[in-house]
Amino acid sequence: MLKDTTRASEKAALIFGGSRGIGAAAALRLAKDGFAIAFTYVSRPDKAAELVAEIEADGGQALAIEADSGDPQAISHAVARAVERFGQIDAAVVNAGIIRMGKVDVFELENLDRMLAVNVRGVFLAIQAVTAQMRDAGRVITVGSNTAVRSSHPGTSVYAMTKAAVATMVKGIAIDLAPRRITVNNIQPGPTETDMTAPMIARLAEMSPLNRVGQPAEIAALVSYLASNEAGYMTGSSLTIDGGFVL
């Protein structure tokens, strides 16, 4: 296969978990910022195709890659595909994640292992793989959760643990990559209107000091800032954007 070099001299971003919700909003925002976009998806190839079409209709370039973030080989393959298409990566957004609910006395080992594989190991391996192909002074942005600092609902202990692990991981990796001036930061959204939260939007809005949930585009705006040149002095940080839930 011939390498497409049409955007090799321009900016490219790879989004892990980018076909829906916050990931899709980040893809659209970064495309408007001038990035060529590669993104992974696990299910709903129809949504992935729609996102590619929307970005291309607006004059951008996009590549959808089927890849499970719980599979190390799939992560490596996704990075290779993105580099083959667009050249070195300038920014990476690690958004892929899953949630399984259950109190400690009934939580199944299979669900524990799956959540650790995707939400913790998958994040580490994605950063490891993509930064090997990233330009110096690149940007890495993880999408965690405000549950890393506030977990008040029964059955969320494992999910909160994985997101707290990401926040801690980012601090260490930021130091590892500082000599290359690659920044690594973590966004911790609160309840945001996505497919996952749709059944409970009204209840979540009532719990918020602002009496509403977040919108994916609001999280994407923070992604845009962290991916910009202006954010070059921020690294190792976790930024909570949750309408005051953790206050």
Could you give the residue numbers annotated as active site?
Answer: 159
Cα angle value 43/111/77 (rounded, 5°): 45
Bridge partners (DSSP) of residue 19 are none
Q: Three-state secondary structure along 154-216?
A: CCCHHHHHHHHHHHHHHHHHHHHHHHHCCEEEEEEECCECCCCCHHHHHHHHHHCCCCCCECH
How many Å apart are CA 18 and CA 94, to the nearest integer?
Answer: 9
How many Å apart are CA 185 and CA 171, to the nearest integer?
Answer: 8
- Closest by alpha carbon to 18, among 33, 2, 39? 39
Bridge partners (DSSP) of residue 38 are 14, 63
Residue 244, φ and ψ in degrees, nearest 5: 95, 10
Count of residues making up the chain: 247
